[in-house]
Amino acid sequence: MSKVLTIARREMAGYFFSPLAYVIGAMFLCAVAFKFAPPPAFWTGSREWFILVPHQQASFRALFEMMGVAMIVAAPLLTMRLISEEYHSGTIETLMTAPVTDVQVVLGKFVGVFVFYLALLGGTLIFLVLMLFFASPDPGVVVMGYLGMILLGAAFLAVGVFASTLTRYQLLAAAAAIVILAALTLLSEPLAAHSPEPWNEIAARLSAMTYLRSFARGLFDTRGVVFFLSITGGFLFLSTKTLESRRWR
């Protein structure tokens, strides 16, 4: 455990002192802010897409959905360097010969980026504070919504870690992760809407947004917990196996 924490601390330092990480974080918060309170030019458009426009009841649920969509891009950008950078710089060979296991390397890097993600998620609490001036958000919706985002974030970051183990090129790793996350989040919903039974139900159950919406309604969805934890554990396992395969090349 101490080796995992050592690697995690190194990664956390890399994030909290990296301008790029803050740029990605700012982009994430700006996307959420646009959903929360769009410029006046958008008030005459599709009002139901936004949260806070004149003469419309404020709702905190839609904010979590926007966070989930924004994470499709934010998670790959945050994780693209984790292993790819080690490949590109050649330090992966040093890491492979160090007295640490592949599991410890993967877990350490995952914990490091996950802590930074939690800090980023904490930044969205400003929207909750602003919401209090216009409405009274249901505490159950807020708590369950953030629990859903924590679980979704862990799953999406695990996918990003896996993509980062596949290539030495960071942008290629980010692109691969975006494709996987888009399939898990966006593509399954059109399939559910246009597929015959029972395939429509299967496609709906494979959508991360299906479970996030349940949490955003204030529901503790055990199926959602199992789904997100399975994605997290499964892709961290694949990441470990990918690293192990490099030892035998």
| Residue % of the chain over a pLDDT of 70 | 80
- CA dist 127 and 133 (Å) reads 10
- CA dist 52 and 98 (Å) reads 52
User: What per-residue confidence (pLDDT) applies to 177?
Assistant: 96
138: left (phi over 0), alpha (psi -120 to 50) or beta: beta
What confidence category does residue 200 fall into, taking pLDDT thresholds of 50, 70 and 90?
Answer: low
User: What per-residue confidence (pLDDT) applies to 197?
Assistant: 66
- pLDDT higher at 113 or 130: 113
| Residue % of the chain over a pLDDT of 90 | 35
Contact by Cβ (8 Å): 221, 145: no
User: What per-residue confidence (pLDDT) applies to 194?
Assistant: 56
Write the pLDDT tens digit of every residue in 7-47.
899 889 888 888 888 899 899 888 887 776 655 444 444 44
> Could you tell me the two tokens for 99?
């007295």
Closest CA to 3 of 82, 95, 97, 108: 108
- pLDDT above 80 for 94: no
- CA dist 161 and 166 (Å) reads 9
- CA dist 60 and 178 (Å) reads 26
Contact by Cβ (8 Å): 35, 50: yes
* Domain extent for 173: 2-247
Using CB atoms within 10 A of its CB, is residue 39 exposed (0-12), middle (13-18) or buried (19+)?
exposed
Write the pLDDT tens digit of every residue in 164-199.
999 889 999 999 999 999 988 876 666 555 555 665
- Tokens 């996987």 belong to which residue? 180
- CA dist 180 and 157 (Å) reads 12
- Tokens 């292993």 belong to which residue? 83
- CA dist 154 and 160 (Å) reads 10
Cα 202 vs. chain centroid, distance in angstroms?
A: 22
The count of structural domains within the chain is 1
- pLDDT above 90 for 225: yes
User: What per-residue confidence (pLDDT) applies to 188?
Assistant: 62
User: What per-residue confidence (pLDDT) applies to 134?
Assistant: 67
Contact by Cβ (8 Å): 83, 36: no
